[in-house]
Amino acid sequence: MKIVMAGAGAMGGRVGLYLTESGQDVVMLDKWQDHVDAMNDKGVTVHSYGETTNHKVKAVFMDDYNEPADLVILLTKALTAEETIDNLIKQGVITKETKVMSLMNGLGHGDMLLKKLSVEQVILAVTMWSAGLKGPGELILEGTGNIEFGYPDGHVDAFIEKLKVILDEAKLNGVISNDIVTSIWNKALVNCCFNTYCSVTDKRIGEFGAYEQADAMLIPLVKEIIAVGATKGAKLDLDATMEKFHKMYSPDVVGLHYPSMTQDIHNGRKTEVDFLTGAVSRFGDEAGIETPYCDILTHLVHQIEK
């Protein structure tokens, strides 16, 4: 299968590398020229548990590629996703036969893709893998994860079954979902809460959770997101969510981590907040549901973005 990684940063690098090593025909597209050059010149350098290894991949500057793909995996940051899809359609990489799988964090990617592509082409996914980008061509890859994926309406066809085999052969652990919308909202719920609150307070997840009134900050926000998610078909549960949050505070889980949004702010980069609490506010407006927590958190994060 001809697979194109649209965005080969930390996460696109990880997924693209694993698929390449399993024998798939993969091209890594990226707009960071130094990163593309480094991947082609010396391969992807992987730092993992104190070891460094080098891996051959094929990378091309995003605007210069024009061969049709069977599958495009979208892993830019959400901010540049729509422009990327428009350009890949113009460049002939995405044709009417190409499947496009969004693996980005956040909400609204399915709606964006369905404006441009047919319903048979759009696959949604959510991942528990993580990855870091140390510099051009240099990935930090530790931990494990999976990729849950499916068509928005949950039907399973031969392509979905083939994709599971491909992901499993690449050791990416594919999980076919018949309710990918709920899975995406479940991850977005975590990101809406901790990415925003930890960014505004400049705290690690465990430090935020150690505040004795953390639940009083979280519960109204979670309720808001659950109410709006329900209008999009997401089945979310308050008690299960809070139980999951409490487990996250442990240093053995993610208690010692700054969420990716907080890291983006530390690095002076724009965040994906408009695709998290910002998206919940937009969907709330459409559905006539008030979202004061999401509204103010989105504004606060924009205020501290540099």
Near ligand NAD by CB under 6 A: residue from 2, 31, 116, 244: 31
Which one, 137 or 229, has the nearer CB to ligand NAD?
137
As given in the structure block, the two tokens for residue 20 are 């390449």
Complex with ligand NAD: residue 104 or 181, whichever CB lies closer: 104
Q: Is 131 in the site for ligand NAD (CB under 6 A)?
A: yes
CB atoms within 10 A of CB 264: 21
Angle at CA 10, nearest 5°, toward 160 and 234? 45
> From residue 65 to residue 94, what is the string marking binding to ligand NAD with x (rule CB under 6 A)?
----------xxxx----------------
Cβ pair 6, 72 in contact under 8 A: yes
The CA distance from 264 to 276, in Å, is: 14
Which residue's CB atom is positioned nearest to ligand NAD? 9
Rounded Cα distance, 31 and 83, in Å: 12
Q: H or E stretch including 275?
A: none
| List of long-range contacts for 248-253, beta carbons under 8 Å, 24+ apart | 248/190, 248/194, 248/205, 248/209, 249/205, 249/206, 249/209, 249/210, 250/206, 251/206
Q: Which of residues 223 and 269 has its CB atom nearest to ligand NAD in the complex?
A: 269
187 catalytic? Reply is: yes
48 or 211, CB closer to ligand NAD?
48
Instruction: Out of 30, 138, 224, 274, point to the residue binding ligand NAD (CB under 6 A).
Output: 30
Considering only 5, 9, 93, 279, the residue that binds ligand NAD (CB under 6 A) is 9
117 interacts with ligand NAD by CB under 6 A: no
The active-site residue, picked from 2, 31, 187, 270, is 187
Residues 214-243 that bind ligand NAD (CB under 6 A): none
What tokens does 296 get?
């103010």
* Distance in Å, CB of 96 to ligand NAD, minimum: 26
Does residue 276 belong to the site contacting ligand NAD (CB under 6 A)? Answer: no
Query: Residue 147's closest CA among 15, 266, 247?
Result: 15
State yes or no: residue 127 binds ligand NAD (CB under 6 A): yes
28 is an interface residue for ligand NAD by CB under 6 A: no
Nearer to ligand NAD by Cβ, of 224 and 274: the residue is 274
* Stretch of 4-12, 16-24, 42-50, 248-256 contacting ligand NAD, by CB under 6 A: 4-12
- Contact flag: residue 133 with ligand NAD (CB under 6 A): yes
Using the rule CB under 6 A, is 7 a contact of ligand NAD? yes
Give the tokens for residue 184: 């995406």
- Among residues 20 and 105, whose Cβ is nearest to ligand NAD? 105
Contact call for residues 125 and 102 (beta carbons, < 8 A): yes
Catalytic residues, by residue number, are 187
Please give the residue ranges that form the binding site for ligand NAD (CB under 6 A): 7, 9-12, 30-32, 35, 75-78, 104-105, 127, 130-131, 133, 260, 272
